[in-house]
Structure 1
Amino acid sequence: MRRMNAIRCHGFGGQHRFETGLNVPEPGPGEVLVRVDASGVCAADRAMWNATGPWDLSFPFTPGHEFTGTVVALGEGAGARHRLSVGDRAIAELNITYGNDFFRQRGLYHLSDSMDVLGATLNGGWAEYMIYPADAVIHKVPDSVSNRAACYTEPLANAIHGVQRAEIGFEDVIVIAGAGPIGMGMIQAARLKTPRKLILINPGKPKRDLALKLGADLAFHPEDPDLRAALNDLTDGRGADVFLEASGQGAAFLQGLDLIRKAGRMVVFGVYKDPVPFDLNILGEFKELDLRGGHLAPFTYATALDLMGRGLIDGDACVTHSYPLEEFETAIVRTPDPDEVQIKVIFEPNGTEAS
């Protein structure tokens, strides 16, 4: 029996452990065993560490829902089922859905009432090996996409879903709040929609500078008075056509309500620690806004991999820090220096990728 190392969560609030000598799982019918090449640290993972998340989960489990791996074994029928061979690099979508409920019938499988989640209800990618379940949606990684960029697929796929929800047009002035993994993905995906202007709002200047390199036309601190002036100049004082909120900060949501024009579209993709009170009259009486939520990444993993594979989105630029599993606490709690860009922090459980 082969052995492996993994990070196991035994409870919320810092109850993670680096464990050695665990059995490498054997793939059952339809299942895929992968050697994990890279696995990301998400804000949800940090919420588990800090005990600030809303989830009710069973312990212990292996976290990590952003991952990429190399196929090392296939259960009975798995090769044909998933069109995979040993040696392929592949990614599984994090949500595993079952049955034929109302939402799956309508193509909304990410909202299914019957769902498992890799890295939460099923073991995830903070390990040297993991299983992709038989019911997983699995995608091959293009040869031109590095392991580190492939690990960025999940947040990028979320970002693309948010951009799709925004229905961006050629003449739109777009504002995106937040320059984390999803915000940076939105910048690059929205640029491919060729809007008239693309503006980022983010407090840290290093991230603003990177966003300008990745496709933003303008970038502002949220308190910069030039932000309002620029929007007024671009729109004759109307305000932004589309506002995408990817920061998870209540103040950013409220600023979006202020900056968006009448009949504008607002997509909320952030995850908020606290309720955000606001005047509902802004939605109807004053602006007749189209307010939309965004959740997960239905049908966008393949798009994310394709866009990175064709060089249209730079996934490597968004993976900024890598750690071995043993240094999991440092990776989870690290805070960037003021002049440092920190976007996606990852683990490379089986060693650093060759450059």
Structure 2
Amino acid sequence: MSAKMMKSLAFYGPKNLKVEQRAIPVIQDDELLVRITYAGVCGTDNRIYQGTKKISTPRIIGHEFVGEVVGVGRDVKEFALGNRVTVYPMIPCGSCYACRGGRKNICVNRTTIGYEIDGGFSQYVKIPAIAIESGNVIIIPPGLDDKIAAASEPIAAAYHGIERSQLKEGDTVIIVGAGPIGLFHTQLARLKKPAQILVIEPQEEKRELAVLCGATHTIDPQTADPIEQVLNLTNGEGADVVIIDVGIPKVIETSLDYVKKGGTFLIFAGCPHGSKITIDPNVIHYKEINFTGSSASTPEIHHEVLELLASGELDVSELISEIVPLEDWQRAFEMKNNFLGIKVLIDPWR
């Protein structure tokens, strides 16, 4: 392969991804070039592949990545060659009503690396000036393994979800689904010192990981009535907080009964475009349930998560399931599609 070419995984439409050679991006004076070390495969990447999330094509996808700075525009002063960095992928406009209100994670005009801008399923990625100016490029703390740092972006999103839930010490929290986000939520919830962390998950291996991450109880919804178990474990009250980490509308509908009066019901997982749920509005009305959602995060939270990982307060090393070469992308996506494994990383240099 020519020194000026790179391997990339390009999205051309639903079920149409191709590993191909592309020219290594040429950076401008206000941009960075990053040599990708690892890129995480996300549920949203799989939704793009399956066609349930729409983006423009062609596009190099992948929004969870780490790498080394190998090119620095002459006007960029904050970074130097050799810096290990990760990039918070969602870039806010800074001027819409959401940004002005301090909620740039739900920016109306946001641009995302891996969606609107070429992303990390490649050997190199160009970081645009707006990402640098917005503080989205973050230096990885010394001593933090690149593989762990590659998982930091979804952990930052999970962290924001915990904050949105207003979970506090002494609460009971139920986490529905023990995929990567559910397990991240379990670890992060533990830091709030709740009385109980209940994880509902049908796969035994994932329930075992949930206990490793801090769950006090796990429930297999296939072998017992979850609502009966929840009520038994909460003195008939239900949970203070319920977090939905499974993007299945039916699961959302059936999980509403887990929350107690005055509790919070938070939808974290994205569902296929056009999904609908049917719920009894009286449940929300009479129980005064805080029914809310959580989307994305911020560079500031991403930075905080990196520090938690570097300090050892969070340990996700057991959650890295596999590292695959770029050419093996299909197996990684099928694992995600079939809820197998936890966190799969792509190494574009293998």
Calculate the TM-score normalised by the size of structure 1: 0.91
Distance (whole Å) between structure 1 residues aligned to residue 42 and residue 338 of structure 2: 19
On the 8 A contact 1:34/1:73 being kept in 2, the answer is yes
Within the candidate set 107, 114, 119, 2:109 is matched to 114
Look up the match of 2:331. 330
Look up the match of 1:93. 88
User: Are residues 58 and 229 of structure 1, via their aligned partners in 2, closer, same or farther at CA, if it must alter by over 3 Å?
Assistant: closer
Distance (whole Å) between structure 1 residues aligned to residue 338 and residue 153 of structure 2: 26
User: Are residues 47 and 325 of structure 1, via their aligned partners in 2, closer, same or farther at CA, if it must alter by over 3 Å?
Assistant: same
User: Are residues 42 and 335 of structure 1, via their aligned partners in 2, closer, same or farther at CA, if it must alter by over 3 Å?
Assistant: closer
| 3-state SS, counterpart of residue 269 of structure 2 | coil
Number of residues paired by the alignment?
341
On the 8 A contact 1:150/1:315 being kept in 2, the answer is no
Look up the match of 2:187. 188
On the 8 A contact 2:94/2:104 being kept in 1, the answer is no
Letter in 1 for 2:92: T
| 3-state SS, counterpart of residue 25 of structure 1 | coil
Look up the match of 2:279. 278
* Superposed CA offset, 1:91-137 (max 9, x none): 11111222522111122112222221111110000000001221211
Distance (whole Å) between structure 2 residues aligned to residue 295 and residue 145 of structure 1: 26
On the 8 A contact 2:175/2:243 being kept in 1, the answer is yes
Letter in 1 for 2:33: L
Look up the match of 2:297. 297
Distance (whole Å) between structure 1 residues aligned to residue 330 and residue 222 of structure 2: 33
Look up the match of 1:67. 65
RMSD between aligned residues: 1.9
| Unaligned 5+ runs, structure 2 | none
User: Are residues 68 and 233 of structure 1, via their aligned partners in 2, closer, same or farther at CA, if it must alter by over 3 Å?
Assistant: same
Deviation at 1:221, TM superposition (A): 1.0
Look up the match of 2:249. 250
Look up the match of 1:44. 44
Counterparts of 1:313-352 in structure 2, within 5 Å, are 313-334=314-335, 342-351=341-350
Letter in 1 for 2:290: D
- 1:200 paired with 2:195, answer no
- 1:261 paired with 2:260, answer yes
Distance (whole Å) between structure 1 residues aligned to residue 212 and residue 244 of structure 2: 20
Distance (whole Å) between structure 1 residues aligned to residue 257 and residue 100 of structure 2: 38
| 3-state SS, counterpart of residue 308 of structure 1 | helix
Letter in 2 for 1:324: P
After the TM superposition, list the runs of 4 or more consecutive aligned residues in structure 1 that deviate by more than 6 angstroms.
Answer: 335-338
Within the candidate set 2, 8, 11, 1:9 is matched to 11
Letter in 2 for 1:8: A
| 3-state SS, counterpart of residue 135 of structure 1 | helix
Distance (whole Å) between structure 1 residues aligned to residue 95 and residue 223 of structure 2: 50
Deviation at 1:243, TM superposition (A): 0.4
Distance (whole Å) between structure 2 residues aligned to residue 29 and residue 85 of structure 1: 13
* Superposed CA offset, 1:286-312 (max 9, x none): 311001110001232012111111111
Letter in 2 for 1:4: M
